[in-house]
Structure 1
Amino acid sequence: MDYLKYWTPVLVLGLAFAGFFLGGDWVWLGIITFPALAVLDTLVGRDYRVRKMSNATLANIPIWLCCIGPVLLYFAFAWRLSVEELTGWQMLGGILSVGWMGVIPLVPAAHELYHMRNPIARTVGRYGHLCILDCTRDIGHVVGHHIDVATPDDGDTAARGTNLYKFTGNAVIESTLYALNMEADALKKKGLSPWHISHRVWRALLALVIFHALLYLVGGWIANACGLAAQLVARFWVESFNYFQHYGVIRVKGAPIGRRHLWNHLGWFSRTCGFEITNHADHHLNSYQVYYKLVPHKEAIPMPSVFVCFLAALIPPLWHEMIAKPALKRWDLEFATAEERALAARQNAAAGWPDWQNEPEAQVGKAATVGV
């Protein structure tokens, strides 16, 4: 039964394909799954169950489908554009549907593949990111994020007080530059030019050119324009989801990474459609651990559905007052070490937030749970 749960994102992807097959206003079907998942994830509630799965082949079939499928969805969109004159409204629906499939389920599936030791899986995971204009994403994620998480050096960790819009815009630029510079530094260590032909950015650009050439052959220039628009939507959307995984959490540089240094969103649909990317406390302790063996952190501060978090963060005061501040107050008082509390107090002050660490009732909760 646990294996079947992870066919949920395959079903979501199938609905998007069905929308392009039917055409007309049905092309909105893919993006409609976003609010539907937000409602379902909230109604069904949290899922703390440990998965009983041991067959890697069965577990990985939906991963591969959800990495390759969104790439093929672009060609379904291009085909629809070639056989039907879509209205502007319908083209917008197609762009959003394709872009959303590049976020969920593609990114969690690609993330799982490029964390594998199998070189073919890693390659497919990397180039699945054609859908988000970022075929070098694994460089910054594996080399940077997994080392710097919850510190000021981590571009995926938003400082307290930062709103979603500012974070997302900065993250798009910073993640791109980080990957380019890391690859250039690796080449220099080999005695090569930082822009040597073996720099992975050239392969990424070549893949992008081939991808758009094929889109043109299927649907013409309009397919290229809509495809690029969907890629841009997906790229910004993907960066925005990092905001909710690490927002405001503090770690002293060089200190061990604990389960407390990230947020988990343990809704049933968050876990299944994200291939456990929202249940990734253990993932940061062992990046090679397969998704279905990650254990939910029951002692962590419960967070709402990741879909609900995204919708709330579109209105920054709502996000900060209703979700972020209450969670971070608990984190400071119940989970942070003394050093982390000191750094957190500085961020709170810089953000203009209350000094909750020195409230009378706060003194009771300051016995930090070190190592969590």
Structure 2
Amino acid sequence: MFERLPSNWMLALKSIGYWFWVIPVALLPLSYKLSLNSANPDAWAFLVPLVIFGLIPILDAIIGRDPANPDEVQQVPAMEQQSYYRWLTLASVAGLLGMLLWSGWILASYSAWSWVGQLGWVLSVGIIMGGIGITVAHELVHKDSALEQNAGGLLLAAVCYAGFKVEHVRGHHVHVSTPEDASSSRYGQSLYSFLPHAYKHNFLNAWKLEAERLKRKGLSPLSRHNELIWWYALSGVFLLGFTVAFGWLGALFFLGQSFVAFTLLEIVNYLEHYGLHRRKLDNGRYERTNPNHSWNSNYLLTNLFLFHLQRHSDHHAYAKRRYQVLRHYDESPQLPNGYAGMVVLALIPPLWFAVMNPRVRAYYAGEEHQLKAGQQAI
């Protein structure tokens, strides 16, 4: 739909379109308002997942792909210096935390929902905190400034997944698409096999990496210098706050939305790297990470919702690039829909394998032995 627009026009439109993150957040109060005096209030609590995983994949297919890559010489240096993009992500942190607090209050005070409606509400909040919140946190923890680092850590603490701040940058980006990476799914591995392993090993790897960092500095891992202790303590403060403010229901709400949020993160990890791996060189090392080692999804609408997270190939090749200047590579392996549609597909393994396995095999055409090489256990 937009593929014939001049690049300058598209970049200008996208600078405004990154505010689309507000739309899923706004769906929450809309779903609450629609449930008031409704004959079926429980149904409206599921508005967010229905829109995101039902309507968005259809719109992605209709609206089509994002045609705009910024010019490396003329546009990228200027865009990287524009504080607008940085402050947009920081503004979303305040908005998301405010939404989280308001949502907890609604759950505790609204009596028209049965446990089904309450479950839908927790699911909705978790999807937003995982889809938008962790995406923003991901952008921020890759940056060097203390403000962005701490803002990203705050969002991760709000979903009890602070280990991502350490493991993703120091672990996943080092070992991506190798057997050593718990966030890189194997060819033929189902989502339900992948998730328990990812939960466990990403948590343990974060503590291991932080302990190694501190030991190199001659410091004890069990000290105030361990940032994971502080971030998980902050998660405990969140939990205590929701419990004191809203009772046991507030505690369940906070833990429930956290579980949904970090599960959605790991589902996205699953689809971003499924079946792809870096080849091992004669010297025993893996080839350098390049744009061919992650699945790319260049659908415009979800690109805007997720701050270009779907241009994942470029992100892994050049992790410090800010979201507004991430590029699409035609030669990267391409997903057939945006992330929302692919999440739905991943939840149904037979459909996932039917769609994705032929694409992985095509990627390794002529060197099919690589398919078995990539299935080594971690």
CA deviation map 1:86-135 (0-9, x unaligned): 32122011101111011211111111111112111111101201243111
Cα pair distance change 1:289/1:37, threshold 3 Å: same
Structure 1 residue 41 and structure 2 residue 60: aligned? yes
Q: Which residue in 2 is equivalent to 1:366?
A: none
* SS across alignment from 1:113: helix
The answer to whether the 8 A contact 2:134-2:156 is kept is yes
Structure 2 residue matching 1:181: 3-state secondary structure: helix
Matching of residue 319 in structure 1 with residue 337 in structure 2: no
Which position in structure 1 is the counterpart of 2:15? 3
Question: Which region of structure 1 is more displaced relative to structure 2, 231-240 or 69-78?
Answer: 69-78
Find the counterpart in structure 1 of residue 236 from structure 2: 209
Tell whether 2:245 aligns with 1:218.
yes
Is residue 195–residue 266 contact of structure 2 (8 Å, CA) maintained in 1? yes
Note if 1:303 corresponds to 2:335: yes
Q: Which residue does 2:7 correspond to in 1?
A: none
Aligned equivalents of 2:222, 2:298: Cα separation in 1: 42
**CA-CA distance at 1:2 after TM superposition:** 2.0
Matches within 5 A, 1:242-281: 242-251=269-278, 252=280, 253-281=285-313
Q: Identify which range, 21-30 or 242-251, moves more after superposition.
A: 21-30
Contact kept? 2:176, 2:184, Cα under 8 Å: yes
**CA distance in 1: counterparts of 2:335 and 2:126, whole angstroms:** 25
Pick closer, same or farther for the CA change 1:102–1:266 going to 2, 3 Å: same
Deviations 1:275-308 (A, max 9, x none): 1111022222221111111111123333122222
- The answer on 1:198 being equivalent to 2:225 is yes
2:5 corresponds to: none
TM-score (norm 1): 0.85
Q: Distance in 2 between matches of 1:137 and 1:3?
A: 28
Q: What amino acid maps onto 1:325 in structure 2?
A: N
Partner of 1:29: 47
Structure 1 residue aligned with 2:121: 94
Structure 1 equivalent of residue 28 of structure 2: 16
Are 1:183 and 2:215 counterparts?
no
Q: TM-score, normalised by structure 2?
A: 0.84
Distance, in Å, in 1 between the alignment partners of 2:209 and 2:51 is 37
Which runs of no fewer than 5 residues in structure 1 stay unpaired? 352-372
Q: Which residue of 2 aligns with 1:365?
A: none
Percent of matched pairs sharing the same residue: 25
User: In the alignment, which of 226, 231, 240 is matched to residue 258 of structure 2?
Assistant: 231
CA separation in 2, counterparts of 1:23 and 1:130?
30
Q: For 1:78 and 1:347, locate their aligned partners in 2 and report how far apart those are by CA, in whole Å.
A: 43
CA distance in 2, matches of 1:123, 1:151: 29
Contact 1:77–1:223 under 8 Å retained in 2: no
Q: Distance in 2 between matches of 1:129 and 1:16?
A: 20
| Partner Cα separation in structure 2 for residue 36 and residue 191 of structure 1 | 53
The answer for the alignment partner of 2:141 in structure 1 is 114
Kept after mapping to 2: 8 A contact 1:150/1:246:
yes
How far apart, in 2, do the equivalents of 1:118 and 1:182 lie? 21
1:154 corresponds to which residue?
A: 181
Letter in 1 for 2:51: T
Aligned-pair distance for 1:21? 6.0
Given the superposition, is the C-alpha separation of residues 111 and 284 from structure 1 closer, same or farther in structure 2, using an over 3 Å criterion? same
Structure 2 residue identity aligned to 1:263: W
**C-alpha separation between the residues in 1 aligned to 2:129 and 2:85?**
21
Runs of at least 5 residues in structure 2 that lack an aligned partner in the other structure? 1-12
Aligned partners of 1:170, 1:17: CA distance in 2, in Å? 35
SS at the partner of 1:105?
A: helix
